[in-house]
A and B are shown apart, each in its own frame.
Chain A
Amino acid sequence: MTTPTRSAAGVADPSESGVGGGTASPVGKRRWRPRPTGALGFRIGVGLLVCYLLVAVTSYFWTPFDPLGVGGDVLVKPGMPYLFGTDRLGEDVFSRTMAATRYDLLITVASVCLALVLGTVLGTIGGYYGKFWDGAIMRAIETFNAFPTLLFAMLIVSAVGPGILNIIVVLAFVGLPSYLRLARAEVLSRKTWQFAEAARMVGCRSWRIAFRHLLPNSIGPLLAFTAVNAAWVALITASLGYLGIGLQPGVPEWGSMIANGQDGIITGQWWVSFFPGMAILGMTGSLYLLGDGLGDRFDPRRRR
């Protein structure tokens, strides 16, 4: 359901930039991220995410069938009344995909927000104040970075046990270093700029300079990264679900739905895995588009 719009964006991209590049230089050198495409991609990304949100909210009140209801006909092909078919246990794939949206969306958004806020604050402190704080924060982060991310997430989740809150905290924790590094590098590169000095000159406190003057300059790159990182977190969430170490067994989640249906792929029951897979693809895709657009939007020099 999400593929047509996404591929439309993919088609629009090169053609738009081709036009832009053609007018800019006869050699046909591509302009970096032309505005119309960026704006279009941004709108598509936002639009898709709003759809996901609506589906997630709707699933609380209404789904065609009970997403946890076992006992219908097993492995029915997509059609009416089972829009996406049913799985081995006779559960409606459409209802389950809908219900899974709320879990995947909640986990992704919550853990990304947590990582963004904590990482940015710590990174800004490290970047601006330097010396002891910077050293302490960076050494701690490097220690965690020594472990491969997915493995680290798996280890902690299996240690603390399944559950939505646990997954959110773990994923936020795992994503934290990237935000921290980005915020730190951004603030560090700008703290010697003259406007930081000028802010000090008019009598601003140091935290005010760091958070109110320097950080807003980095908000574009940070949010752009956040959106792209959210796509990655959505994938990790699905991966954990697929490996069966995320949520409690039986809870609808795209990753675990794919795992449930993977035997069927060989025997011809493709729909059990296909639709949750498409849902993941659509969500990661729209987050990427969003990230692309956000980078432009928060820079007044590139706006207009």
Chain B
Amino acid sequence: MSADAAVTPAARRRAPAGDAILEIENYGGYFSTSTDHAPTLKGVTYSLARGAITAIVGETGSGKSLTALSVLQIQPASFVRTSGRILFDGQDLTELDEQALRGIRGARISMVFQDARAALNPVFTVGRQIADVCRLHQGLSRKDAADAAVAALRLVHIPDPERRVRQYPHEFSGGMAQRVMIAMALVCQPELLILDEPTTGLDVTIQAEIIALITELCRETELTTCLITHDLGVVAETCDYAVVMRRGEVLEKGTCEQVLTAPRHEYTQQLLAASRLVENA
């Protein structure tokens, strides 16, 4: 299969054969607000290999974000789980109490949202927001946390971090704000990073920069990453594994190479046909 490396450059690296850090098993449920209580998630099962970048691909409403929110147990309150479990490092996250979950959120599992500017609190400087996460989880002093915030901004290549930490979210462009979110997600050195459509709503050039940054950071530290996206081009370029979802079901999963070059499911074939990848191939 290495002949297809041109299509999926990421696959040139040997996909890490590590064990799964996160296993979602038969996870299902419905929204209590829906009239017919039709299941929104139908037995979602996938796992994230340690140290690898896994893409979750699917159209809007396929349940990919909902599943990701469930990992941190911050799914909407109206979502009722009917089956399944989510194992993180052997612990079932659906069984944990609020206090234990707080220790995991932001410290061991981090998440980056789609709209970074909305996810930052408008009345605090970005430095303070990053520092707050450090102080919350690592008990750093005010001074150390402020230094950590500057270091975090430098890590995501924000120019002049000493000045930028003192600025407010509205002074950041969309791309820069997304970098801040990534910095905030990484500041406590999590074991798992979930990116929920991190480039949606950004310019194409900025999208490429953000994706390059994410790839660089994840590869450097062998950070397990879950990239939720509907951009198959990004999947091909960066990911090791891919999971295809539609209407609350996992249709197909496997290595990126296999899913993109030899899709087994009809829907994946349609997705590929609809994307630009076919032209390139």
Measured CB to CB, the residues of A under 8 A from B are: 193-195, 197-205, 213, 216-217, 219, 298-301
Nearest Cβ on chain A to B212's Cβ, whole angstroms: 24
Do the beta carbons of B136 and A204 come within 8 Å of each other? Answer: yes
Sorted nearest first, the 6 A-B pairs with minimum C-beta distance are A202-B106, A203-B105, A194-B118, A198-B119, A203-B106, A203-B102
CA distance A193 to B168 in the complex (A): 17
Q: Number of contacting residues on B, CB 8 A?
A: 27
Q: Interface on chain B toward A: helix, strand, loop, or mixed SS?
A: mixed
18 contacts between A and B (CB under 8 A): A197-B113, A197-B119, A198-B113, A198-B119, A201-B72, A201-B105, A201-B110, A202-B136, A203-B102, A203-B133, A203-B136, A204-B102, A205-B102, A216-B123, A299-B123, A300-B170, A301-B122, A301-B168
Q: Contacting A198 at CB < 8 Å: which of B101, B104, B107, B120?
A: B120
Q: Which chain B residue shows the least CB distance to A208? A: B136
Do the beta carbons of A202 and B170 come within 8 Å of each other? Answer: no
CA distance A200 to B104 in the complex (A): 11
Q: Contacting A203 at CB < 8 Å: which of B107, B123, B124, B170?
A: B107
Q: Which chain A residue shows the least CB distance to B170? A: A301
CA distance A298 to B104 in the complex (A): 33
Q: Which chain A residue shows the least CB distance to B181? A: A198
CA distance A82 to B136 in the complex (A): 63
Q: Please provide the chain B residues from 49 to 106 with a CB less than 8 Å away from any CB of chain A in the complex.
A: 72, 74, 101-106
Q: Which chain B residue shows the least CB distance to A198? A: B119
Q: Chain B 103-130 against A: per-residue CB contact (8 Å), 1 yes, 0 no?
A: 1111100110101001111111000000
Known contacts being A202-B136, A301-B168, A301-B170, is A217 close to B122, with CB within 8 Å?
Answer: yes
Q: Contacting A194 at CB < 8 Å: which of B107, B110, B115, B123?
A: B115
- B184 partner residues in chain A, CB cutoff 8 A: 202
Do the beta carbons of A217 and B121 come within 8 Å of each other? Answer: yes
- B101 partner residues in chain A, CB cutoff 8 A: 203
Does any Cβ of A come within 8 Å of B154's Cβ?
Answer: no
Nearest Cβ on chain B to A128's Cβ, whole angstroms: 13
- A298 partner residues in chain B, CB cutoff 8 A: 123
Do the beta carbons of B122 and A194 come within 8 Å of each other? Answer: no
Known contacts being A203-B137, A300-B170, is A217 close to B123, with CB within 8 Å?
Answer: yes
Do the beta carbons of A201 and B111 come within 8 Å of each other? Answer: yes
Do the beta carbons of A194 and B119 come within 8 Å of each other? Answer: yes
- A201 partner residues in chain B, CB cutoff 8 A: 72, 74, 105-106, 110-111, 113
Do the beta carbons of A195 and B74 come within 8 Å of each other? Answer: no
Q: Which chain B residue shows the least CB distance to A220? A: B123
Nearest Cβ on chain B to A181's Cβ, whole angstroms: 21
Q: Which chain A residue shows the least CB distance to B99? A: A205
- A195 partner residues in chain B, CB cutoff 8 A: 118-122
Do the beta carbons of A199 and B121 come within 8 Å of each other? Answer: yes
- B118 partner residues in chain A, CB cutoff 8 A: 193-195
- A204 partner residues in chain B, CB cutoff 8 A: 102, 136
Q: Which chain A residue shows the least CB distance to B136? A: A203
- A200 partner residues in chain B, CB cutoff 8 A: 74, 105
CA distance A202 to B181 in the complex (A): 11
Q: A203-B105, A217-B121 are in contact. List 13 more A-B contacts (CB 8 A).
A: A194-B115, A195-B118, A195-B122, A197-B119, A198-B119, A201-B105, A202-B133, A202-B184, A203-B133, A213-B121, A216-B121, A299-B123, A300-B122
Q: Chain B 121-151 against A: per-residue CB contact (8 Å), 1 yes, 0 no?
A: 1111000000001001100000000000000
Nearest Cβ on chain A to B27's Cβ, whole angstroms: 19
CA distance A138 to B122 in the complex (A): 29
